[in-house]
Amino acid sequence: MNIRKGSIRQNEYRIMTKDGGIVWILSSSRPKYEKGHFAGLHGTVADITNLKRTEEELKRAQRELEIKSRNLEETNTALRVLLEHQDTEKKIAERNIVTSLQNLVTPYLDKIEAETTDDRLKTFADIIKTNLAEITRSFTEKLPGRYMKLTPAEIQVTDLIRSNKTTKEIAAILYVSEATVFFHRRSIRKKLGISNKKTNLRTFLQTLEND
């Protein structure tokens, strides 16, 4: 038997009791020598069942904590994405209001003022334009000047480009063809004065937003 003199060996193992239960045992032993010759083992045996149960409970609690932590992280990520989406939708709505008024209402008010000889109609048109400007003032103050040239559809595309969406992703989100998105991108670059420049559109839009 190859046992080093004075060495202690420990072993953990399970045994079944008379009633069918399982008990964990820790045994510690060291060799016993007489006159330089191995004469047996001297050791102790301890019941560590409760210790093992505590270890298992701690491991189980740690696993559950890790799962809850992952779930919380996923929930936080989903909430952050939702808030960002809501913020984008709000900006799009505000810009759509402004551009819709500029494209669909203001030109006709200008036409009334230019073509009518009725001073009362001119006054009413001017009042309407003033009131509309006041209503949308809080929106327009947030918009870079060059955004005012964009149509509602182009504003939607710019927001999605700023969010690092690809042409394919934008087409899917807006339910349009990729060719339509390309058309909007060219129009946006032209209106922003970068159509003939090697300028990344997303970077340029982010720069405008931070101005």
Residue 61 lies in a domain: yes
* Beta-bridge partners for 24: 14
Q: Could you give the CA distance from residue 190 to residue 145 in angstroms, rounded to a whole number?
A: 15
Please tell me whether residue 66 adopts helix, strand or coil conformation.
Answer: helix
Write b or e for each residue in 39-49: b if 16 or more Cβ atoms lie within 10 A of its Cβ, otherwise e: eeeeeeeeeee
The boundaries of the domain holding residue 162 are: 53-104+144-210
Q: Which two tokens stand for residue 196?
A: 């003939």
What single letter denotes the amino acid at residue 60? Answer: R
Residues 93, 154, single domain; the answer is: yes
Residues 42, 75, single domain; the answer is: no
pTM of the model: 0.36
The HSE-up count of residue 125 (CA atoms within 13 Å, CB side) is 18
In this prediction, the residues of the chain whose per-residue pLDDT falls under 70 are 1-8, 102-104, 135-148, 152, 208-211
Residue 160 lies in a domain: yes
Number of domains present in the structure of the chain: 2
Residues 150, 91, single domain; the answer is: yes
CB 48 within 8 A of CB 24: yes
Task: Of 197, 192, 188, give the one whose Cα is nearest residue 167.
Answer: 188
Residues 84, 20, single domain; the answer is: no
| Digit-coded pLDDT (tens) for 146-192 | 555 777 678 778 878 888 889 998 888 878 899 999 999 999 888 88
